[in-house]
Amino acid sequence: MSEPAIQVSELSRRFGDFTAVDRVSFEVNEGEVFGFLGANGAGKTTAIRMLIGLLQPTSGTARVAGYDVATQAEQVKRRIGYMSQRFSLYEDLTPRENIRLYGGIYGLTREQIRTRTAQMLDRLGLSRVADAAVRSLPLGWRQKLAFSVALVHQPRIVFLDEPTSGVDPITRRQFWELIYDAAANGTTVLVTTHYMDEAEYCDRISIMVAGRIAAMGAPADLKRDYRVSSIDEVEQHNLTRRGRRRPMVRMKPRAPASGARRLRPSDTPATSR
């Protein structure tokens, strides 16, 4: 069995007296879509910043793509893609120019950049606006472009920090189809979101509450274990038990039941909670 794409053990981050991430532990397998769920302020973004080498852990360990995030951050950065909460492209540049810029930053050859630029623009349906300033494009188009740019160098793992925040339901579904395609091609995806319905699109999820992982597992398993009909109810259950909860954590996915499949975005309404 191959090494997990992400291995986290007792990872913590404190800012003075405030603990933003409190001893979280989990693993993410190669090619898995792993959801990092929780309300705003739960610690999701802080955890991601540690995993991509932008923030030093206070304690604990984490390995991403086989490298230690505390001591080998540069090796980690070369093997991952990252899309931040805030729009991450240069708005004064065109889609074509952004792709070429990031392709160069990631060390692609001119031929690779030329080929992948044409492929990405065609796939996203942006060929006719390829030379328009990015700031003139609708938010949903910009978000999909930013995600594709994060994949331009074909990273082993891509981290997405609330990528669908602020976009309309149809664009959210389209964005998740892009995530599915990336995973189908072998890219591991860790995505944070506060939209509980998006949990259904993941292979497994974790739910963070006050810096800790309160629940982890496949969405169907969690709903069954908590005897509820939605992931939103799982989160609310843990929010009400903050001071006395006993985390229900499954470190590794169970073998899928016969006929089981990951729910696709087209199967459910894309509404926020």
pLDDT in tens, 72-109: 999 999 999 999 877 678 999 999 999 999 999 999 99
Q: What is the pLDDT of residues 37-56, one digit of tens each?
A: 988 889 999 999 999 999 99
Whether 136 is in a domain gets the answer yes
- Asked, for residue 148, whether it belongs to a domain, the answer is yes
> Is residue 34 a part of any domain in this protein?
no
Residue 270 lies in a domain: no
CA quadruple 251, 252, 258, 259: dihedral sign: positive
pLDDT of residue 241: 67
DSSP reduced 3-state for 14: strand
Report yes or no on 96 lying in a domain: yes
Report pLDDT digits (tens) over 256-272: 333 344 556 656 544 44
* Mean pLDDT confidence for 11-36: 96
Q: Provide the domain count of the chain.
A: 1
The answer to whether residues 191 and 34 touch, using CB atoms and an 8 Å cutoff, is yes
Q: For residue 113, tell me if it sits in a domain.
A: yes
Which is it for the CA torsion 150, 35, 78, 69, positive or negative? positive
| The pLDDT of residue 28 | 97
Length of the chain: 273
Flag whether 111 is in a domain.
Answer: yes
pLDDT band, residue 140 (cuts 50/70/90) = confident
**What's the domain range around 103?**
86-154
pLDDT of residue 139: 87
Q: Tell me the C-alpha distance between 112 and 148, whole Å.
A: 15
Strands 18-28 and 6-15: antiparallel
pTM of the model: 0.84
Does 251 have pLDDT greater than 50?
no
